[in-house]
A and B are shown apart, each in its own frame.
Chain A
């Protein structure tokens, strides 16, 4: 038994929608204030996903009042109440650090939005091109 297998034992089960870099998601995060607990949403573009087993992390970037805000969440944190997929986005990079230099519409234009009804056709096309290549 190695440490990766052991990690699986301590990995909480999470049922989030599958999201990728470039998608816009809303993370509902639990916040404790004294004894009270409330849920705060954070909506933005996923700019990075780091897959390290139990240490899986993702970073969400949003712009509010012209200021960019980034927040990194541990994927398996019990403090994440839920994640909602808002928009599918198509990007050509695994890490979207270049968005930090861009603002507003110029940044938005770098990500091609895929509407939910186009999603299936898009996936199909992707798989076809993949099989053609191989």
Chain B
């Protein structure tokens, strides 16, 4: 589905006319460009490659510079491919803005979650741990990891301590609350993976056709039209 590359600005709250406040994440979208168009005949599937945030040409090796030259663009820092059904609407070098999305749409947001380093099982897998007092000297450790002679080993994929976070995470079917076209900002209901200024990919939701997602969309459809906002 068509999508864009953006930066997470941060989270805030927005009031509605009826007095409820909803939590939103603001995503800043610099101008995106179509760098490459993939077709069924050539590549076996239809997709567009989108790039954003220009950088110096010297940052790239020659093959990459040539890749950008094909679409007459200055080299772009981030590239991402989005599958689309119909490629006839897109031309090489075309600029894409936040108006790809409309308030009320459902979107998926892909980002890299905050790295937490080496963490124990309580934080990483939500283990309960052991009592803190009443004579216990065993608090946050794993506990038992298996049986005795049968099977005589620890099962594969047993949940243990280790590196946590810094994974690519997709949050599905978030509501687009507002789109500020001239500022290039999208407000999305709820939270989005990653830290501030982290790169996120906003995509039209892959599960928007599901009944559950459609019910969610209609349930939340009153939000975009009821926001309290000053006229831009």
Contact = CB atoms under 8 A, between A and B. Distances in A.
A77 B227 CA distance: 12
A10 B9 contact: no
A55 B18 CA distance: 17
B21 A10 contact: no
Nearest to B11: A3
Interface in A1-51: 1-3, 6-13, 30
Contact of A78 (B19, B26, B232): B19
Interface residues of B, number: 22
A74 B19 CA distance: 10
A10 B15 contact: yes
A10 B10 contact: no
Interface string B194-232: 000000000000000000000000000000000111101
Contact of A6 (B9, B19, B227, B228): B9
Given A1-B28, A1-B183, A3-B12, A10 B229 contact: yes
Given A1-B183, A78-B18, A78-B19, A12 B228 contact: yes
Given A1-B28, A6-B26, A78-B18, A54 B13 contact: yes
Given A1-B185, A3-B26, A6-B26, A78 B228 contact: yes
Interface in B175-196: 180, 183, 185
Contacts of A58: none
B230 A9 contact: yes
Contacts of A76: 15
Contacts of B17: 78
A9 B12 contact: no
A43 B222 CA distance: 34
A127 interface: no
A12 B15 CA distance: 8
7 contacts: A6-B9, A7-B12, A9-B180, A10-B229, A54-B13, A78-B15, A79-B19
Given A12-B228, A79-B19, 7 more contacts: A1-B9, A3-B12, A6-B26, A6-B185, A13-B230, A78-B15, A78-B16
